[in-house]
Structure 1
Amino acid sequence: MTITNAVSAMAGAFIMGSLLLNNANMFAEVNWLWLTFFVGFNLLQSAFTGFCPAAKFFKAVGFKDSDCCVKD
């Protein structure tokens, strides 16, 4: 799995998890939506700045960079 795929998978899991926790009867709390907002905001800012903490983490633990678009 590449870093890009891992970041996308993690973001999707966090978004779905926070929405499920917001709607679950036992954990019904509107504050779970702040997690969804944070993930979305982080994805948006990384598109403009190129800085993504999750990508740095996945690189540190050994995930590979995507080399499909590398030009020499």
Structure 2
Amino acid sequence: MRERIVRAVAGSIVLLSVVLIYFVSINWIWLTVFVGVNLLQSSFTRFCPLEKILDGFGVPSNNGKCC
């Protein structure tokens, strides 16, 4: 469940930033860069800030179970 939430939030932020880049300012590209860098670092370190936030809300982890 948690992995799906992380992917959905990351994808939503990227799509939102594309809309903001088009309609507001090119400077919103830094939001996309931030999300990309965060995803890349989490693939190496296995640390994701959003997962810590979801821990605080009590969202259960997958525990090795698919979907």
TM-score (norm 2): 0.90
Counting matched residue pairs gives 65
* Root-mean-square deviation (Å): 1.1
- Higher-Rg structure is 1
**Richer in helix (by share):** 2
Identity %: 42
Name the SS of the counterpart of 2:47 in structure 1.
coil
Unmatched tracts of structure 1, length 5 or more:
none
Per-residue displacement from partner, 1:11-50 (whole Å, max 9, x unpaired)? 00100000011112xx1x1110000000010000000001
**Deviating 4+ runs (over 6 angstroms):** none
Residue 57 of structure 1 corresponds to which residue in structure 2?
53
Residue 51 of structure 2 aligns with an amino acid whose one-letter code is A
Residue 10 of structure 2 corresponds to which residue in structure 1?
11
Unmatched tracts of structure 2, length 5 or more:
none
Distance across 2 between alignment mates of 1:40 and 1:55: 16
TM-score (norm 1): 0.84
